[in-house]
Amino acid sequence: MNAAIELQGLSKRFKEKVAVSPMTLTINQGELFGLLGVNGAGKTTLLNMLSGLAKPSTGDALVLGHSLSKELPSIRKLLAVSPQETSIAPNLSVRENLLLMARIHGFSKEKSIEKTEALISQFSLQPYEHQRGKNLSGGWQRKLSIAMALIADPRILFLDEPTLGLDIISRRELWAMINKLRETTTIVLTTHYLEEAESLCDRICIMKDGEIKALGTVDELIITASKENFEDAFVHFVTGGEL
């Protein structure tokens, strides 16, 4: 299986604070990979480094074979992020947000309209296409944010807490959408909802204090921790077996 992302001792330090210790890890193409951990584990910092928003302190990563330290512009074309905080312009409509994103990516006017139409259809955004971003519900804002991240057909998509604060129905709708996306895109997802990770992820990496505490499928993690369920296994790994 070909690697989508190869971390090669990638680390990040903020002054005295080690946010991510040197990490070595491979995420495969086509995988839906979960990054889990308690607050401050280093998940967002890791994604920020891989998307060029934070400069690594040491190490490198290969993204579809391109070196993060040497070929960031190539990586930016392959990878997109749907961030924790919504990236949508509040006073623009759904359609205008998508058009703007397409233009930012350098698509012609015609191509931008074509891309916008396709994403409105793919995400069933038709009923809301003329509604301003700020007037959408949380679930629809999140769907729009993911649609915007997909405007340039990235090969890899980072979803940082995609269902944070959503009700269970909106969450399930997003899960269905993410499951469809995995057919064409490698996805790295962070979440605090363990049932979300269990339901969606092929493999999960559990981080704490910038370090990998466990890595594997849900079943492998449960067996390694000698627990009955994933929640108990997660608690075991992040407390060092104390709970």
Ligand X SMILES: Nc1ncnc2c1ncn2[C@@H]1O[C@H](COP(=O)(O)OP(=O)(O)OP(=O)(O)O)[C@@H](O)[C@H]1O
To which residue do tokens 């989508």 refer?
A: 4
Q: Which residue, 14 or 121, has its beta carbon nearer to ligand X?
A: 14
Q: Is 32 in the site for ligand X (CB under 6 A)?
A: no
Which one of 22, 26, 28, 40 is in contact with ligand X (CB under 6 A)? 40
How far apart are alpha carbons 227 and 243 in whole angstroms? 11
Q: Smaller CB distance to ligand X: residue 173 or 196?
A: 196
Q: Which of 42, 56, 154, 162 binds ligand X (CB under 6 A)?
A: 42
C-alpha span between 146 and 15 (Å, rounded): 33
Is position 83 an interface residue for ligand X (rule: CB under 6 A)?
no
Nearer to ligand X, 185 or 191 (CB): 191
Q: Is there binding between residue 19 and ligand X (CB under 6 A)?
A: yes
For 22, residues 6+ apart whose C-beta sits below 8 A from its C-beta are 9, 10, 11, 58, 59
Identity of residue 185: T
Nearest distance in Å: CB 125, ligand X? 27
- Complex with ligand X: residue 99 or 214, whichever CB lies closer: 214
Q: Which residues pair with residue 190 across a beta bridge?
A: 35, 160
Q: How far apart are the C-alpha atoms of 140 and 178, rounded to whole Å? A: 14
For ligand X, the closer CB: 209 or 220? 209
Nearer to ligand X, 45 or 97 (CB): 45
Assess 208 for contact with ligand X (CB under 6 A): no
- Residue 238 Cβ vs ligand X, minimum distance, rounded to whole Å: 11
- The pairing of strands 156-160 and 79-82 is parallel
- List the beta bridge partners of residue 149: none
Tell which positions 163-202 bind ligand X, by CB under 6 A.
Answer: none
Q: Tell whether residue 49 is a contact of ligand X (CB under 6 A).
A: no
Phi and psi, residue 150, nearest 5°: -90, 5
Cα separation, 28 vs 16, whole angstroms: 33
Cβ distance 149 to 187 under 8 Å?
Answer: no
Tell whether residue 44 is a contact of ligand X (CB under 6 A). yes
Nearer to ligand X, 133 or 210 (CB): 210
Among 37, 56, 59, 162, binds ligand X (CB under 6 A): 37
Torsion of CA 90, 95, 97, 98, to 10 degrees: 150
From the list 13-21, 119-127, 130-138, 151-159, the region that binds ligand X by CB under 6 A is 13-21
Residue 43 as a binder of ligand X (CB under 6 A): the answer is yes
Size of the site for ligand X (CB under 6 A): 11
Rg value, the chain, Cα: 18
Contacting residues toward ligand X, per CB under 6 A: 14, 17, 19, 37, 39-45
